[in-house]
């Protein structure tokens, strides 16, 4: 059976049973208590299965307090063996009223179990936590961004995936940082391997299920990533994305450094899945330091980046991924509109000419320099040089030679090889 890391679907039994606590809906809980009494006469008689010192758990359960999943699964196993199949794990999952943790004071109400991240909301939320968000050392997730729309989108996405959020911290109006219940952080850490504490030392990866997304959801994930960490350099005609990680001195090897930052390598793979090319990752900054959380330690800190820079890939990024942030969206449009037909990288015009030649041949059965000149918007002399190069490279051949007519010529006709 595939894990939630691979599927993006988290069931209640995927969570650590001694950390996560839940409360059952009243009607379902009363039905479970009746089944216990029917099987054991009274609640106390069930203690043989837990030990006398665990009696308080039974009374917590009876009084509608939250109980550990480990307790609930034990009761479920006992009742299922007695023939009460309505209390199997898959049934219990449907009747959870709230979810929390032992020391957490915020809860998730009416959780939408199983939690399914295979949606636009799931893609937005996971990307937000990995990039401008994180999980603190108390397992509480957070996301920070100045534009209100960005924060609200992530709060709305969290509610769509997880359920009702009633804590004040999740209000996007409250400040530039929004925070989520601890139980959500446990889901992200235990199920998707997203590290807690300073992300610089976690070197997180994109969870495996994101690579199984359809192209539309991969675009959503990348849009959030570039909204958070990307920037548009209009003059340089490129889109950059940057990340920072730290490597322990004893683990540091210069030749392996380029592969150390997982998120950027994963972003490059997702872009390639959408047929968007990018430049190699490079180190823009590297330095040694001896502090971590105000404690002594030997680390090398690296700042990584890579860019998307040619017009074809920039346009593909704009069409397929794009930005939600208005100023980045505007800057990308300015950059694309600043391109002129003659501003092409070396060899790019030959690729364009070959594509246009194929289109002409599909329509007319052949193409010539006059026809091709109109399509690629070049001077006639340049088109002749391009077709001569294509002939030299063996990509096309002459169908008919040029024919003199009056003071002019009927140009040569070509076909693709």
The pLDDT score that the predictor gives to residue 40 is 80
The pLDDT score that the predictor gives to residue 342 is 47
pLDDT digits (tens, 9 = 90+) for 279-295: 988 876 565 555 554 44
- CATH number, residue 196: 3.10.28
Same domain, 225 and 331: yes
Predicted TM-score (pTM) of this structure: 0.78
Same domain, 256 and 208: no
Same domain, 225 and 209: no
Same domain, 65 and 150: no
Domain-terminating residue out of 213, 241, 256: 213
- Percentage above 90 pLDDT, the chain: 61
Examine residue 309 and state whether it is found in any structural domain, yes or no: yes
Residue 400 has pLDDT above 80, yes or no: yes
The pLDDT score that the predictor gives to residue 292 is 52
Domain-terminating residue out of 173, 198, 213: 213
Residue 382 has pLDDT above 80, yes or no: yes
pLDDT digits (tens, 9 = 90+) for 40-54: 877 666 666 665 556
The pLDDT-based confidence of 252 (bands split at 50, 70, 90) is low
Q: Which residues fall within 8 angstroms of residue 274, CB to CB, at 6 or more apart?
A: 215, 218, 219, 222, 316, 320, 321
Examine residue 3 and state whether it is found in any structural domain, yes or no: no
Give backbone dihedrals phi and psi of 288, rounded to 5 degrees, phi first: -95, 145
The pLDDT score that the predictor gives to residue 402 is 87
Tokens 């730290």, residue?
246
Q: How far apart are CA 222 and CA 396, in angstroms?
A: 39
pLDDT digits (tens, 9 = 90+) for 30-80: 999 899 888 887 766 666 666 555 666 777 777 767 889 998 999 999 999
**C-alpha 128 chain-centroid distance:** 8
Examine residue 15 and state whether it is found in any structural domain, yes or no: no
pLDDT digits (tens, 9 = 90+) for 148-175: 999 999 999 999 999 999 888 899 998 8
Give backbone dihedrals phi and psi of 238, rounded to 5 degrees, phi first: -155, 155
Q: What is the Cα Rg of the chain in Å?
A: 30
The pLDDT score that the predictor gives to residue 14 is 96
Closest to 306 in 3D by CA, of 285, 271, 280: 280
Same domain, 34 and 50: yes
The pLDDT score that the predictor gives to residue 297 is 59
pLDDT digits (tens, 9 = 90+) for 120-145: 999 999 999 999 999 999 999 999 99
Examine residue 11 and state whether it is found in any structural domain, yes or no: no
Same domain, 331 and 360: no
Same domain, 33 and 71: yes
| Host domain of residue 51 | 20-101
pLDDT digits (tens, 9 = 90+) for 309-345: 888 899 999 999 999 999 999 999 999 988 765 455 5
The pLDDT-based confidence of 200 (bands split at 50, 70, 90) is confident
* Average pLDDT value over all residues in the chain: 87
Same domain, 227 and 178: no
At 203, list the tokens: 């070197």
Same domain, 312 and 223: yes
Examine residue 6 and state whether it is found in any structural domain, yes or no: no
Residue 346 has pLDDT above 70, yes or no: no
Give Cα separations from 241 to 66, 236, 262 (angstroms).
44, 14, 13
The pLDDT score that the predictor gives to residue 149 is 95
Same domain, 195 and 286: no
Same domain, 33 and 127: no
Q: How far apart are CA 238 and CA 332, in angstroms?
A: 9
Same domain, 168 and 234: no
Q: By the 8 A CB rule, do 223 and 324 touch?
A: yes
Examine residue 2 and state whether it is found in any structural domain, yes or no: no
Q: How many domains does the chain contain in total?
A: 4
The 3-class SS string of 156-170 reads HHHHHHHCEECCHHH
- CATH number, residue 242: 3.10.28.10
């Amino acid at each position: 059976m595939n894990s939630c890391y691979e599927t993006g679907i988290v069931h209640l039994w995927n969570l650590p049973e001694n950390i996560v606590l839940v409360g059952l809906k009243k009607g379902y809980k009363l039905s479970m208590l009746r089944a216990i009494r029917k099987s054991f006469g009274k609640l106390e008689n069930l203690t043989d299965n837990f030990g006398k010192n665990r009696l308080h758990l039974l009374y917590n359960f009876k009084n509608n307090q939250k109980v550990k999943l480990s307790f609930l699964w034990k009761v479920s196993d006992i009742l299922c063996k007695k023939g009460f199949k309505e209390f199997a794990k898959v049934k219990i999952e449907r009747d959870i009223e709230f979810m929390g943790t032992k020391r957490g004071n915020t809860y998730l109400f009416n959780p939408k179990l199983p939690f399914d991240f295979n949606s636009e909301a799931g893609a937005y939320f996971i990307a937000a936590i990995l990039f401008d968000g994180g999980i603190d050392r108390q397992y509480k997730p957070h996301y920070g961004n100045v534009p209100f729309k960005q924060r609200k989108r992530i709060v709305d996405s969290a509610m769509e995936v997880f359920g009702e959020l009633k804590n004040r911290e999740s209000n996007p109006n409250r400040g530039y940082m929004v925070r989520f219940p601890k139980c959500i952080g446990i889901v992200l850490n235990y199920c998707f391997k997203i590290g807690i504490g300073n992300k610089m030392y976690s070197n997180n990866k994109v969870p495996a299920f994101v690579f199984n997304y359809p192209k539309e959801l991969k675009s959503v994930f990348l849009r959030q990533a570039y909204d958070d960490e990307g920037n548009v350099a209009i003059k340089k005609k490129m889109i950059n994305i940057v990340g920072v990680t730290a490597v322990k001195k004893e683990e540091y090897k210069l030749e392996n450094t380029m592969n150390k930052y997982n998120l950027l390598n994963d972003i490059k793979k997702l872009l390639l899945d959408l047929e968007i090319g990018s430049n190699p990752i490079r180190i823009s900054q590297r330095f040694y330091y001896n502090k971590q959380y105000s404690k002594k330690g030997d680390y090398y800190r690296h700042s990584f980046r890579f860019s998307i820079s040619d017009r074809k890939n920039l346009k593909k990024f704009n069409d397929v991924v794009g930005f939600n942030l208005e100023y980045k969206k505007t800057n990308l449009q300015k950059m694309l509109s600043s391109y002129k037909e003659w501003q092409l990288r070396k060899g790019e015009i030959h690729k364009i000419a070959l594509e246009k030649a194929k289109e002409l041949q599909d329509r007319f059965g052949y193409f010539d320099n006059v026809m091709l000149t109109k399509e690629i918007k070049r001077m006639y002399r340049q088109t002749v040089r391009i077709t001569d190069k294509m002939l030299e490279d063996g990509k096309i051949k002459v169908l008919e030679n040029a024919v003199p007519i009056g003071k002019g010529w009927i140009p040569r006709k070509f076909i693709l090889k």
